[in-house]
Structure 1
Amino acid sequence: MNKVLIKNAKIVNENSIFEGDVYVEGEYIVEVAEQISAKSPDVSVFDAEGKYLLPGVIDDQVHFREPGLTHKANIETESRAAIAGGITSFIEMPNTNPQTTTIEELDKKFDIASKTSYANYSFMFGGTNDNLDEILKVDPQKVAALKLFLGSSTGNMLVDNLEVLEKIFSSTDLLIAVHCEDEGTIRANTEKYKAEFGDDIPMKYHPIIRSEEACYLSSSRAIELAKKTGARLHVFHLSTGKETELFTNKIPLEEKKITAEVCVHHLWFTDADYEEKGTHIKWNPAVKTQKDKDLLWKALLDDRIDVIATDHAPHTIEEKSNVYTKAPSGGPLVQHALVSMLEAYHQEKISLEKLVEKMCHNPARLFQIKNRGYIKPGFFADMVIVDLNNPWSVTKENIYYKCGWSPFEGNTFKSRITHTFVNGSLVYKNFKFYDLKKGKQLTFNR
């Protein structure tokens, strides 16, 4: 049995930081205490003195592109990049090829991940205008949620039949996760700017085409429908300050029927970055203004926004280098999500305790993930050791995404992920991987 003892760590867990030790046997945390001695000579001891021990990050929204789009990425390459970034569990989206809109395709993805994933995994099931029968077959203890695209994005999964949408909301007990952008507004705006510029629309118009109005219109409709039907709704990747007004912080997370997520790119970049970064920071929904960014941070800190995620969605550099209308939206983020948010800690925007709450505890609570997201006895030993004072720069040589690029290239981060443990096994240490695909299928307390 694998036995691990982490000594002298500054443990960040459940809104406190305390110095102590963590003892692991097999896949599970056995003891957390101020001081623990090695119980036998076969214990692997790691001295974390001066470093912080965090629960492994749970990323509730990634696109790992398998099956069908594996020239961009696959579960093996991107889960490997994820553990280098301290992400030990991920929930992957259904807009692959074929789409994950049947139980048969869902089972195929679980089979791939069981053989290739370095991190723990689950998948969202995709809703369409005509697959309600398949939705009703989904096992809620096995699948993280139902994903609906209420605005078209990468792939072709737009659910635009309002009658069908209401029926889905009324018929399933699954958590419903939504991408909210109003398609009619976006199409009208796109045509307006294409008439002026053709296909080579300057990137600065992206947040005007995929506008605040498009986001708010769609988000507010989804929330109205959830309130009408009693559905459990989670709104992905808020990008506007106006949308944050739709959410509450007046009740505990477990009692919320409507929750929200923000992604690292909407907390880091603004429309001022389009001039330098161009299509490399083209996301749907779009990165918007400094004011929007400030209001997203405010809502995150006052608990109207519940989760920080990535929406990791890699494309090749050749694909991203096309003109505006032909360049796909999305970018790779799992390797650099935690260190970018730790940079925000250094900038005194967020505490370590709040960061762990939003990236580790709350995804586990919100999705009812069984025995993950915390450092406590009986939980799986998914943990990350972080050195807050060990600067490094992002270069092509240390990027692990299959696509080989990052919107953070050239950035220097003060913090470094030094060790990542998945289910009790050391899988990554200081830019070195151990060829241990220890990822397990997530299960849910439902």
Structure 2
Amino acid sequence: MNSILIRNATIVNEGKTFRGDLLIKDEIISAVGPAGQLDSPKDSQIIDASGLFLIPGIIDAHVHFREPGLTHKGDIITESRAAAAGGITSFMDMPNTVPQTITIQELNNKCRTASEKSMINYSFYLGATNDNITEVLKADPEEVCGIKVFLGSSTGNMLTDKEESLRILFKEALLPVAAHCEDEKIIRKNIDNYTKEYPEEIPFSLHPLIRSREACFKSASYAVRLAMEYNTRLHILHVSTADEIKLLSNELSVKEKRITGEACINYLWFEDSAYDEYGAMIKCNPAIKTKFDREALRQAINNDLLDLIATDHAPHTFEEKSGSYLKAPSGVPVIQHSLPSMLELWHEKTLSIEKIVEKMCHNPALIFKISQRGFIREGYKADLCLFDPDDQWT
């Protein structure tokens, strides 16, 4: 039996922070106790974690690892290694690859690849389109984390905008429906208007006005209406505006909610003025909004209107990102730096360490019904993250 005893760690788990020991046997958490209270089994490895924090391994419920078909940007090996370096032990990958993950066969192919390449635990979303709703409804809830639906087009061109298809999906889905909420007509109109105003090149600073708060709120409102009509298990991805937060509720526990909301690192960290400095490097969909929106998102994390923190990790090459506004792809690589970014907010006293662990570890496990992970509990998998809270890097 292989055993590891972690001693004198500052354990953060289920709303509590305490100095304790943790024993691992054969990759399972065998015991948790106050510091100095656990005996060391014979021949066990002992780790002195004095001054270090010990939290459950982070579950990132929103990544784009680019495999298959886009591996010049990154692949499951490189991106899962970056995730592990950042304290992430599980990921859920989106379907806008090449080919798109819109059939059970392509889903199985992805799982097979991940079983050979991934450094950490994995799951994959099945993508909905206007024409494959019958196929996605065949998905086994034990094998698929959710169904991704693009209500606004983004990288990969998987727009689903037929009312009939969406109603069938929201009515029949047994899995969480994870929705990218932006109104396509509003975005197209804004692009047309700004193209006329700036015929040479649209400034990146206009990205938040093109992919506007109106586009986000209108689309999210539509998704919420459908979910309430059909009692769908709806998960709204990358909420970026204070307006969308008004559609969410904190009256129920996260396990009881039928509609949940996600915050992503980009929107908790940047504000729209950063487009003047960083341009395409922080171009993402939806766009990063105002300082007011950023502060509203942070507050919604604290008051449980927003339920989890994810990355929306989306790498591109530097050459691709060097293009003009209409050519540079949207997406920001952030997975290795997500925990350090949130720890910075902890140091600033914007978020508590307990709240960070709740949103990055506990709640993803609860929302997506991941068993034996996301918590430090006896009998659970020893998916753990040990780090120095004062280091700049994990």
Task: Measure, in 1, the Cα distance between the counterparts of 2:169 and 2:132.
Answer: 9
Matched, 1:15 2:15: yes
Equivalent residues of 2:314, 2:332 under 8 A apart: yes
Residue in structure 2 matched with residue 221 of structure 1 by the alignment: 222
Amino acid at match of 2:244: E
Q: Percent identity?
A: 52
The 5 A counterparts of 1:160-239 are 160-198=161-199, 200-239=201-240
Residue in structure 1 matched with residue 101 of structure 2 by the alignment: 100
Equivalent residues of 1:199, 1:326 under 8 A apart: no
The 5 A counterparts of 1:206-355 are 206-355=207-356
Give the superposition deviation at 1:199: 5.7
Per-residue deviation, residues 76-116 of structure 1 (Å, max 9, x unmatched): 10000000001110000001000111111000000000011
Give the superposition deviation at 1:324: 0.2
Residue in structure 1 matched with residue 42 of structure 2 by the alignment: 40
Task: Measure, in 2, the Cα distance between the counterparts of 1:389 and 1:163.
Answer: 52
Give the superposition deviation at 1:249: 0.5
Unaligned runs of 5+ in 1: 391-412, 418-446
How high is the TM-score relative to the length of structure 1?
Answer: 0.87
Task: Measure, in 1, the Cα distance between the counterparts of 2:331 and 2:284.
Answer: 5
- RMSD of equivalent CA atoms: 0.8
Amino acid at match of 1:237: H
Equivalent residues of 1:199, 1:324 under 8 A apart: no
Task: Measure, in 1, the Cα distance between the counterparts of 2:109 and 2:138.
Answer: 16
Residue in structure 2 matched with residue 25 of structure 1 by the alignment: 25
How high is the TM-score relative to the length of structure 2?
Answer: 0.98
Task: Measure, in 1, the Cα distance between the counterparts of 2:14 and 2:139.
Answer: 32
Task: Measure, in 1, the Cα distance between the counterparts of 2:33 and 2:233.
Answer: 37
Residue in structure 2 matched with residue 74 of structure 1 by the alignment: 75
Give the superposition deviation at 1:136: 2.1
The 5 A counterparts of 1:403-442 are 413=392, 416-417=393-394
Q: Secondary structure at the match of 1:79?
A: helix
Unaligned runs of 5+ in 2: none
Q: Secondary structure at the match of 2:148?
A: strand
Residue in structure 1 matched with residue 87 of structure 2 by the alignment: 86
Change (3 A) 1:196 1:183: same
Give the superposition deviation at 1:198: 2.6
Q: Secondary structure at the match of 1:324?
A: coil
Question: Which runs of structure 1 show a deviation greater than 6 angstroms over 4 or more consecutive aligned residues?
Answer: none
Q: Secondary structure at the match of 1:325?
A: coil
Equivalent residues of 1:266, 1:287 under 8 A apart: yes
Amino acid at match of 2:260: T
Task: Measure, in 2, the Cα distance between the counterparts of 1:224 and 1:300.
Answer: 23
Q: Secondary structure at the match of 1:219?
A: helix
Amino acid at match of 1:333: V
Give the superposition deviation at 1:4: 1.1
Change (3 A) 1:296 1:352: same
Task: Measure, in 2, the Cα distance between the counterparts of 1:167 and 1:15.
Answer: 39
Task: Measure, in 1, the Cα distance between the counterparts of 2:218 and 2:189.
Answer: 14
Corresponding residue pairs, total: 392
Amino acid at match of 1:3: S
Amino acid at match of 1:21: D
Give the superposition deviation at 1:37: 1.9
Task: Measure, in 2, the Cα distance between the counterparts of 1:353 and 1:328.
Answer: 35
Give the superposition deviation at 1:272: 1.2
Matched, 1:2 2:2: yes
Equivalent residues of 1:199, 1:325 under 8 A apart: no
Equivalent residues of 1:199, 1:323 under 8 A apart: no
Amino acid at match of 1:39: P
Give the superposition deviation at 1:280: 0.2
Q: Secondary structure at the match of 2:387?
A: strand
Q: Secondary structure at the match of 1:326?
A: coil
Q: Secondary structure at the match of 1:293?
A: helix
Give the superposition deviation at 1:133: 2.0
Change (3 A) 1:244 1:126: same
Task: Measure, in 2, the Cα distance between the counterparts of 1:124 and 1:55.
Answer: 23
Q: Secondary structure at the match of 2:152?
A: coil
Task: Measure, in 2, the Cα distance between the counterparts of 1:140 and 1:40.
Answer: 42
